[in-house]
Chains A and B, each alone.
Chain A
Amino acid sequence: MTRVAALLAGALAGLALAGPAAAAPIGCPLARAAFAPVDGPAGLTLQASAAGRDVAFELRVRGARERLRYRLVRRPDSALPALLPTARDAEPLGRAVLLGPDLRTVAPDQATPVAFAFFEGLWSHSYALSLRDGRERPLPPEGLWRVAACRR
C-alpha cells in the first residue's frame, strides 16, 4: 500500500469511528428515497415514489400488511409542504421539512436530492387512526427521518 493510500485509509477509518455525527448523509432524489427514523424504532420505513408530478409516501411497518399512504402537497399558508393522507376528506398533516445532504432545506420536487426529512403530524395521524379503529400500530416518531436506501 502506498503512503497516500495508507493516509486515505486512515482518514476514512477515523471518519467511520467518529460516530453518527460524522457519518456521511446519503443524498437521494426525493421520489426514490426510503426514509428510516433517525431514533428508531427499527422496522419503520417511509418509502417515497413518483405519483404523476407529485411525490407519494407509503409508511410501512416490517411484518405488517397495512400501509399508510400520503401525498406531499403544497400548503396555501406556507412555503413548506405537508403530507396529505390519501383517505377521502383527510386534512393535510403539519409542515414537512426536507433537508439536503448539507442540511439545508430543499424543494419538494421528485428529483431533489434529500438526506433527511421531518414530518409534523405523522405521529398524531397514526395515533388517531389507532384510536379510531382499535388496532395497535408502532407509532412513527416525530423526529428526523434519514435516507436509508435509494431505489434505482
Chain B
Amino acid sequence: MTGGRRHSRPWSARGILAAAGLALAAIPGAGAAPRRCPLTAATFAPLEGPPGLALTVRDGEQGPVWRLAWEGTDHTVEFGTVSHSGNGHTILVEEQPESSGGESVETRAEVFDAGLSALNLPRAIENPGRRLAAYVLLPGLRDGLARKAKAGPARPLPAEGLWVVRACAEERP
C-alpha cells in the first residue's frame, strides 16, 4: 500500500450537526412534523401531487362531507361518508354523480393521526379535538376519477398515495 493522502481534518461540529439535521429532516414527523387538524376542519392535499387539488372536509347533516376541488376552476366533486356498521370501514360515495358525468366515484377512506395510527372515524367526528387527523388514504379515488374522466374533460388526477393536512379552518376547544 502506497499510502494515499490522509484526510487529517476531522469533521467539524457544525458539519456533524448539519448532517444530523439532514437525517432528521428525511424522517417523516421528525424534521417537519405533519400538520394536524380536527378532521372536519381540515383541508388535505395529495403528498405526491399534483398541486392545485384540495380536499376539504366539513360537517354535514349525515356525517362529514368531503369536497374535492380543482383550484382555479369551478369544478368540484362532493362525497358523503358512509360507515360500514359491521366492520367499521368508511367509504366515501360521490353525491350527485349525474351532475359530473354519470358513474359514481367510491373509495375507502382511512384517516391517520401524525403517528400513522388509524383514527376511528365515528369517534373522531364525535370528539374532533381528541385525536387530530394528519393523513388520509383514499385508495380508490384516482381510479374512480379516471373512469369518469374518460367521459368528460381531462383534469389532473391525484396520485394514489397519502393526502396530508394543508390547512386547518379552526382549532376547536
Contact = CB atoms under 8 A, between A and B. Distances in A.
A141 B89 CA distance: 10
Contacts of B118: 38-39, 141, 143-144
Interface string A1-29: 00110011001000100111111110000
20 contacts: A8-B16, A8-B20, A15-B30, A21-B28, A21-B34, A21-B114, A21-B115, A21-B116, A22-B30, A23-B29, A77-B143, A94-B108, A95-B139, A97-B161, A103-B47, A103-B135, A105-B159, A120-B108, A123-B87, A142-B110
A24 B143 contact: no
Interface in A85-138: 94-95, 97, 99, 101-105, 116, 118, 120, 123-124, 127
Given A79-B142, A95-B140, A97-B161, A104 B48 contact: yes
A19 B134 CA distance: 15
Contacts of B79: none
Contacts of B87: 123-124, 127, 142
Given A25-B27, A101-B26, A118-B137, 16 more contacts: A8-B16, A11-B24, A21-B33, A21-B34, A21-B113, A22-B29, A22-B30, A23-B29, A38-B115, A38-B117, A39-B118, A97-B139, A102-B28, A142-B89, A144-B116, A146-B116
B17 interface: yes
A80 interface: yes
A65 B139 CA distance: 32
Give me the 6 closest cross-chain CB pairs, A-B, nearest first: A143-B118, A21-B29, A20-B115, A105-B161, A95-B139, A21-B114
A100 B26 CA distance: 12
A79 B160 contact: yes
Interface residues of B, number: 36
Interface of A: 3-4, 7-8, 11, 15, 18-25, 38-39, 77-80, 94-95, 97, 99, 101-105, 116, 118, 120, 123-124, 127, 141-144, 146
B24 A15 contact: yes
B39 interface: no
Contacts of B114: 21
Given A141-B118, A142-B110, A4 B33 contact: no
A103 B164 CA distance: 11
A80 B159 CA distance: 11
A144 B28 CA distance: 15
B89 A11 contact: no
A97 B116 contact: no
Interface in B117-143: 117-118, 134-135, 137, 139-140, 142-143
A135 to B, nearest CB: 18
B45 interface: no
B13 interface: yes
B16 A4 contact: yes
Given A4-B17, A144-B118, A25 B108 contact: no
